[in-house]
Amino acid sequence: MNLKELAAALNLSQTTVSRALNGYPEVREETRARVLAAAKAAHYAPNSRARRLATGRAMTIGHVIPLTGRAEMVNPIFADFLIGAGEVYAREGYDLLLSMVTDGDTDKAFRQLAANGSVDGIMVQAPQEDDPRIALLKELDLPFLVHGRTGDALGYNWLDIANIRAFRRATDFLLDLGHTRIALVNGQARFDFSQRRERGFREALAARGVSPLPHLMANDAMTESFGYLSAAAMLDGPEPPTAFLASSVIIAIGIRRAAADRGLRLGRDLSVICHDDELSYLNNDVGGPAFTATRSSIRAAGRRCAEMLIDLIRDPDQPPKQELWDVDLTVGQSTGPCPTP
Amino acid sequence: MNLKELAAALNLSQTTVSRALNGYPEVREETRARVLAAAKAAHYAPNSRARRLATGRAMTIGHVIPLTGRAEMVNPIFADFLIGAGEVYAREGYDLLLSMVTDGDTDKAFRQLAANGSVDGIMVQAPQEDDPRIALLKELDLPFLVHGRTGDALGYNWLDIANIRAFRRATDFLLDLGHTRIALVNGQARFDFSQRRERGFREALAARGVSPLPHLMANDAMTESFGYLSAAAMLDGPEPPTAFLASSVIIAIGIRRAAADRGLRLGRDLSVICHDDELSYLNNDVGGPAFTATRSSIRAAGRRCAEMLIDLIRDPDQPPKQELWDVDLTVGQSTGPCPTP
DNA sequence: ACTGTCTTTCAAAGCGCTTTGGGTTGCCAG
DNA sequence: CTGGCAACCCAAAGCGCTTTGAAAGACAGT
């Protein structure tokens, strides 16, 4: 059943039927009711391909996931973000086009999406230092929103959490407990958020005159095994840390495993603070929060980012909008005073 | 730049240019080369909306994620599956349309997708007992592939792992170590895979004349906290288990936390086997496999499912194909002989 | 009765591609 | 020289919708 047939069945023109269905005012209410009833009865749904061609809008938003050879570290985080964004898209009638590309091909993918008009806007996640994607998207003149930010962070739309402040606060918390040998197990160094977190960490240490220990700082994809391996190495090495700061719950879980292997009890023998994205399947709150953590729901971020992007698509000529979310520190069972040796 | 302009610039008809670009034989090679060069120079990319309308194909595959009120348990697993499938789609020129729907609206979403022709096929994940989606998709006459299976499992296309066999094997392994009070911490009971896993568990016990203990069996969304809470309750209750069988690494991590809280060492005081989907960020292999596990890469499954579905879309009239993957049992550090009290 | 203004409806022109159903050439066999 | 056959190329007809520009009808004001 297509529009033509429906119109014929109703003895109306396609125009009128189309307008009736799309809520235009120049149709008599009686006619509209008749059309809507017939459409419903016939299970009519406008062909989205035709509609997209006619309107010139794709009603689709693109998420491009770069598959870096080894890690796909965004993985656990991108999934929750995606779900948050997807909720909003569904509500607003947008489709979500998910595009997996091998790392070097991101440019090509963006150009392609822009040229063939299959999306109205693009969501960018986890920007790196001077991320080339941002310049490219500006050039392509495609609405986009960045989750995170980079560089001077002006001239484009983004939403980010206050990473520096969060990690400064977390570090302060550990320093207040008497820890000085604090390890930072961070994400890959190229990511902007990793750099900001490290900066917050360093600032807090510097403010107390504590110097960071290079052998207690590690950067890599935020996996459980990375947490495990780096914690194991640090704990078994010289000058072992008394506390860890981890960029993700997943890393913290690895650290916990390394601690357990060595018979160390979190909160007593060893302290751990992590950043908690509030992943739905790694709830940190059961039985009191397991980890002391800076927390910010990545899913809520996805929702908000989607809203901002849609807003931008609907009205592309507004000045760039930015949103910076502050982050709570929740005290859990994984931290305690520095053990006196 | 559109086809018309490109054709005009080349002094050729749209037809010829289109054929040249799409590799049809009735164009002279010299002409084709000329067209391709011009297209490249002009950064021409056919408008996908127009192309879709003209061909009647959406070149898009739909993944519909039901958002059940609380859990979204598929979360960590669906992400890796998605990445696997997405790799294949990208390679084959298909787009991936991700649709989030609130749980009761799955039907509506499928009908919509079918009626408005925005996808050529649908991927179905985690089927439940007598999943209504399967009947619906058959009725809608839309190619679909199920990851998992349900009911008699005939008459449609699916790929599944041998859940019964895997859990029988895992249970046997624990029985061989002398365990008899074995707990099963399983996924939600409505999922077919949960039922099969429980069946494998029961079969193995029955074969040795051991009867399953109802208080040592739990079903829920496969989160870390579920693992933690059920393990905590079981370990603190009467007749505590000496071994756990967990349906996911995430659950097992929760169990490990409960064990650590109680000063129990995995592999010595308590044994844990889990099913490992080989999630990229929860690698179980670092420093020797942490958990003894039945393993099967969910990402590889995603890849294969995508291949099968595309095959089906290209040739919809072939008889239903099924694929059943066997599952390895990898021995890790989390299991050991039953401690003699 | 005539003009002007609204309201309601319609025919037809796109949107940018693919594909059908011919045309032209050029060449070779008869 | 003719007919037949490839090899190339083209004009035009869709695909199913939205939207423009106009017509038709109703009604009020003059």
C-alpha span between A4 and B252 (Å, rounded) = 58
Q: Percent helix, strand, coil in chain B (nearest 5)?
A: 45, 20, 35
User: Given an 8 Å threshold on Cβ–Cβ distance, is A223 in contact with B283?
Assistant: yes
Asked if residue A341 belongs to a domain, the reply is: no
For residues A118 and A14, membership in a common domain is answered with no
CATH number at residue A14: 1.10.260
CA/C1' separation B207–D30 (Å): 102
Interface test with A, best of B80, B236, B281, B285 (most A CBs within 10 A): B281
SS3 call for B29: helix
Q: What angle do CA B193, B199, B202 make, to 5 degrees?
A: 145
| Beta-sheet strand order (sheet of A243-246) | A217-219, A182-186, A243-246, A271-276, A292-295, A328-330
- In this predicted model, what pLDDT tens digit does every residue of B194-218 receive, in sequence order? 999 999 999 999 999 999 999 999 9
Q: What angle do CA A324, A327, A332 make, to 5 degrees?
A: 170
For residues A170 and A124, membership in a common domain is answered with no
Q: Got the DSSP string for B239-273?
A: S--SEEEESSHHHHHHHHHHHHHTTPPBTTTBEEE
- In this predicted model, what pLDDT tens digit does every residue of A62-107 receive, in sequence order? 999 988 765 555 577 888 899 999 999 999 999 999 999 988 889 9
SS3 call for B293: strand
Taken as a whole, chain B contains a residue count of: 341
Asked if residue A185 belongs to a domain, the reply is: yes
Asked if residue A210 belongs to a domain, the reply is: yes
- The reply to whether the CB atom of residue B14 sits less than 7 A from any atom in nucleic acid chain C is yes
- In this predicted model, what pLDDT tens digit does every residue of B213-262 receive, in sequence order? 999 999 999 999 999 999 999 999 999 999 999 999 999 999 999 999 89
For residues A75 and A11, membership in a common domain is answered with no
Which residues in chain A touch residue B279, judged by CB atoms under 8 angstroms apart?
75-76
For residues A252 and A313, membership in a common domain is answered with no
For residues A239 and A290, membership in a common domain is answered with yes
Which of chain C's bases lie under 7 Å from a protein CB? Answer: 7-21
Asked if residue B216 belongs to a domain, the reply is: yes
Give the B window 246-275 contacts with A, CB below 8 Å: 250, 253, 256-257, 260, 265
B341 — pLDDT class (breaks 50, 70, 90): low
- In this predicted model, what pLDDT tens digit does every residue of A38-52 receive, in sequence order? 999 999 999 999 999
Asked if residue A157 belongs to a domain, the reply is: yes
For residues B213 and B287, membership in a common domain is answered with yes
Rg of the Cα trace of chain B?
25
C-alpha span between B37 and B45 (Å, rounded) = 13
Which residue from B minimizes the CA distance to A224? B282
> What mean pLDDT is predicted for residues A157-163?
98
Interface test with B, best of A6, A44, A47, A48 (most B CBs within 10 A): A48
CATH number at residue B39: 1.10.260.40
C-alpha span between A334 and A170 (Å, rounded) = 13
User: Given an 8 Å threshold on Cβ–Cβ distance, is A96 in contact with B101?
Assistant: no
Q: How many domains does chain B have?
A: 3
User: Given an 8 Å threshold on Cβ–Cβ distance, is A58 in contact with B49?
Assistant: yes
For residues B227 and B318, membership in a common domain is answered with no
B206 touches chain A (CB under 8 A): no
For residues A27 and A153, membership in a common domain is answered with no
Asked if residue A148 belongs to a domain, the reply is: yes
Mean pLDDT, all residues of chain A = 93
Contacts of A24 (CB under 8 A, 6+ apart): none
Tell the residue number behind the tokens 């990690």, with chain if given. A167
For residues B202 and B282, membership in a common domain is answered with yes
Angle between helices B29-41 and B3-10 (to 10 degrees): 120
Which of chain D's bases lie under 7 Å from a protein CB? Answer: 7-21
A156 — pLDDT class (breaks 50, 70, 90): very high
Last residue of a domain, one of A282, A297, A312: A297
| B127: containing domain | 60-161+299-325
- In this predicted model, what pLDDT tens digit does every residue of B63-113 receive, in sequence order? 999 887 655 555 778 888 999 999 999 999 999 999 999 888 899 999 999
Which letter does DSSP use for residue A63 in this model? E
Percent of chain B whose pLDDT exceeds 90: 85
Tell the residue number behind the tokens 């925005």, with chain if given. B118
For residues B270 and B229, membership in a common domain is answered with yes
Contact A298, A278 (CB under 8 A): yes
Asked if residue B335 belongs to a domain, the reply is: no
C-alpha span between A161 and A157 (Å, rounded) = 14
Token pair in block for residue B105: 């609206």
CATH number at residue B96: 3.40.50.2300
For residues B170 and B284, membership in a common domain is answered with yes
For residues B149 and B201, membership in a common domain is answered with no
Asked if residue A337 belongs to a domain, the reply is: no
